[in-house]
Amino acid sequence: MYCKCGREGFYLRRHSGEILCKRCFTRSIEKTVFKTIRRERLFEPNDRIMIALSGGKDSLTLLYILSKCKYEIFAVTIDEGVSGYREEGISISKSITEKLGIKHYIFTFKEFYGYSLEELYNLALSKGIDLLGCTFCGILRRRLLNSAAIKLGATKVATGHNLDDEAQTVFINLMRGDVSRLMRLGTKPPRHREGFVPRVKPLRYIPEKEIAIYAHLMGFPLYERECPYVRASLRDEVRDLLNQIENRHPGTKFAMVRAADKLSQLLEDRIGEIKYCIKCSSPSSKEVCRACQVLMMLGINFY
């Protein structure tokens, strides 16, 4: 098996049938990211781009590839406050940003919300509320990321969401009948929302497996610890299901994400008026945004 450049093949891209050597593989990943940025006009020349850097393979790949471009970039890591888990990601993030000469900032749940994730977990338990898992944590992290972006003067926030994440989200939104959220997927938000720094996803068309291989070839350190607050979720079930289907029908994840893209293009002018949370003024599809709902439920007076 040989790559089209004549070198020995290393990877068979099943959905396209291509055989790639290591060099062509890494180039093809970078090319896809650059193409996505160009085609979808993710960045303007004057953008100040904040990269959400967890220290995992996706965000490291994003940081590394964007560092090859001429954009003004810096990185932010959110420290949720999970001892024995987050330190590893923070130290990986620090060392890679240092190596690449990219400014790196850390924002903590504790400073922003007054509670670490551990403390929030205990608070929820004491109130008999079951709020564990990444969904709840992710809602609070997004709020903090946006606030960090505003504070640091970012004009865009780039996240490491990959094709698998996006296909799972399409599936979950369909399962929940949440058409409006389905329409808001994409590499960038369909419209500007006051008080919200637009989030873009340059890795949206790269499968998770290929990012893992790219990260390995680039020698990025592996983030091995498991967060104690992760728990089995609907997303895990959807991930397993989609992997099984993809195995038997290569290209399914691409097709799902593209279908969602087409749908949101077709329905673009049907996106209703943007509403704002009555508590915090963040853009929200409901009267009170999800972050405020969580904080209110826990009795945290954030404002």
Q: Return residues touching ligand SF4 (CB under 6 A).
A: 80, 82, 134, 137-138, 227, 229-230
Verify binding: residue 3, Zn ion, rule CB under 5 A.
yes
Amino acid at 3: C
Residue from 15, 193, 235, 279 that binds Zn ion (CB under 5 A)?
A: 279
Strand 156-158 with 199-200, pairing: parallel
Tell me how far apart the alpha carbons of residues 131 and 136 are, in angstroms, rounded to a whole number.
6
Q: How far is the CB of 27 from Zn ion (least distance, A)?
A: 8
227 binds, among Zn ion, ligand SF4, none (CB under 5 to 8 A by kind): ligand SF4
Residue closer to Zn ion, measured from CB, 197 or 277: 277
Residue 5 lies near Zn ion (rule: CB under 5 A): yes
Q: What residue type is assigned to position 74 of the chain? A: F
Give the nearer residue to ligand SF4 in terms of CB position, either 28 or 169.
169
Residues 6+ apart with CB under 8 A from 184: 190, 264, 271
Q: Please, which of residues 282-301 interact with Zn ion by CB under 5 A?
A: 282, 289, 292
Instruction: Read off the amino acid at residue 6.
Output: G
User: How many residues in the shown chain lie near Zn ion by CB under 5 A?
Assistant: 11
CA atoms within 13 A on the CB side of 94: 8
Q: 129 vs 230, which CB is nearer to ligand SF4? A: 230
Q: If we measure between CA atoms, which residue out of 246, 251, 242, 268 comes closest to residue 185?
A: 268
Question: Out of ligand SF4, Zn ion, none, which partner does residue 114 contact, by CB within 5 to 8 A per kind?
Answer: none
**Which of 24, 137, 163, 170 lies at the binding interface for Zn ion (CB under 5 A)?**
24
Strand 72-79 to strand 199-200: parallel, antiparallel, or no bridges (unpaired)? unpaired
Cα 32 from Cα 39, distance rounded (Å): 10
Q: Which does 267 bind (CB under 5 to 8 A by kind): Zn ion, ligand SF4, none?
A: none
**Residue 280 interacts with Zn ion (CB under 5 A)?**
yes
Complex with Zn ion: residue 230 or 280, whichever CB lies closer:
280
Q: Which amino acid is at 166?
A: E
User: Nearer to Zn ion by C-beta: 3 or 256?
Assistant: 3
Residue type, 135: T
Q: 2: which DSSP letter? A: B
Angle at 35 between CA 30 and CA 36, to 5 degrees: 100
Work out what residue 144 binds among ligand SF4, Zn ion, none; the CB cut-off runs from 5 to 8 Å by kind: none
- Residues ≥6 apart with Cβ < 8 Å to 38: none
CA dihedral 163, 72, 100, 147 (to 10 degrees): -70
Distance CA 285, CA 266 (A): 20
CA proximity to 144, closest of 192, 77, 200, 238? 77
Question: Is the CB of 134 or the CB of 288 nearer to ligand SF4?
Answer: 134
Q: How far is the CB of 113 from ligand SF4 (least distance, A)?
A: 13
Taking the complex as a whole, the smallest distance from the CB of residue 46 to ligand SF4 amounts, in Å, to: 32
Output the smallest distance, CB 201 to Zn ion, in A.
23
Beta carbon nearer to Zn ion, 6 or 84: 6
Classify residue 270 by its DSSP letter: G
Judged by beta carbon distances under 5 to 8 A according to partner kind, the member of Zn ion, ligand SF4, none in contact with residue 5 is Zn ion
- Identify what 279 binds: Zn ion, ligand SF4, none; CB under 5 to 8 Å per kind: Zn ion
Per the CB < 8 A criterion, the answer to whether 146 and 282 are in contact is yes
Q: How far is the CB of 159 from ligand SF4 (least distance, A)?
A: 13
Residues at the site binding Zn ion, with contacts judged by CB under 5 A = 3, 5, 7, 21, 24, 277, 279-280, 282, 289, 292
